[in-house]
A = this chain, B = another copy of it.
């Protein structure tokens, strides 16, 4: 088959595909604030959340971020997004991983304070997008009441996007979410002895 023939067949197939897609897109008419969950044991749950923060900022939106866990860490995302205080309200509330604090009461108190901040952001009509980073960790250890979290998320303003990250998302969250992605670990450099590296992992 000649190159011209290949190209002509391609163009014909793409015209058909485009027509099909246009029909499909006519049925996609709804708009509302979405509830997104990134879970699973693979990489990319938080970074996909921060990528959405960047996209939202590109469109001129106002963004809120609550980090539930990485309190004492200096992270690239915090260093970067803190540069835009007019567009991003950034709160780092956690005190580190449970094995670092070794203090359950302090962990619970930190998680509750982070949740209070989260509720305020979800209710605030000036914020378009709210990222609750690693909240699933706090929920997993029952530092927060899942029923209250579900109630607040379900009653959120209609145009508010909220993204929740962290492995082991509770089934009650998956149920009320509009979009759920599971990040699955296929291969990780840690297994070959590599350290977590700036820019890539934090």
Contacts and interface: CB of A to CB of B under 8 A. Distances in A.
Q: How many copies does the complex hold?
A: 2
Contact of A202 (B7, B55, B181): B55
A61 B202 CA distance: 13
Contacts of A195: 28-31
Contacts of A14: 98-99, 101-102
A174 interface: yes
B76 A57 contact: yes
Contact of A28 (B42, B161, B194): B194
Contacts of A27: 193
A129 B76 CA distance: 13
A197 B128 CA distance: 12
Contacts of A40: 184
Contacts of A185: 181
Greatest chain B CB density within 10 A among A31, A55, A61 is at A55
A166 to B, nearest CB: 14
Contacts of A32: 194
A91 interface: no
Interface residues of A, number: 81
A30 B196 CA distance: 9
A52 interface: yes
Contact of A55 (B42, B80, B102, B182): B80
A13 to B, nearest CB: 9
A174 B6 CA distance: 29
Contacts of A56: 76, 198-200
Contacts of A29: 193, 195
Nearest to A19: B99
